[in-house]
Amino acid sequence: MKFSTLHCIAAVCATAALGGCVVTPIGMEPGYGGPGYATPPGVVYVAPTYAMPAPGYAWQYNGRFGWGWRHPSHGWHRGWR
């Protein structure tokens, strides 16, 4: 299968246009932990197993239940207190 010049030009333009879209997180992953949140000492980080339930939730550690989604005004997702 031969690639035409038009396909090559389109691939180069797409690479150039989308090359700046990759951004590395600074300090923590966005949406995980919230601003200024640090994992407590001695606690192993566990990644979320499902998507953020709604905007505003942050992946944080609960001393009793472990890791979960917490909203500043709604509290813990799935009824944790």
Both tokens of 43, joined, read 């606690």
Checking if the pLDDT of 49 tops 70, the result is: yes
Q: What percent of the chain has pLDDT over 70?
A: 68
Q: What is 8-43 written as a DSSP string?
A: HHHHHHHHHHHGGG----SSS-TTSS-TT--PPTTP
pLDDT of residue 79: 65
d(CA 33, CA 8) in angstroms, rounded, equals 42
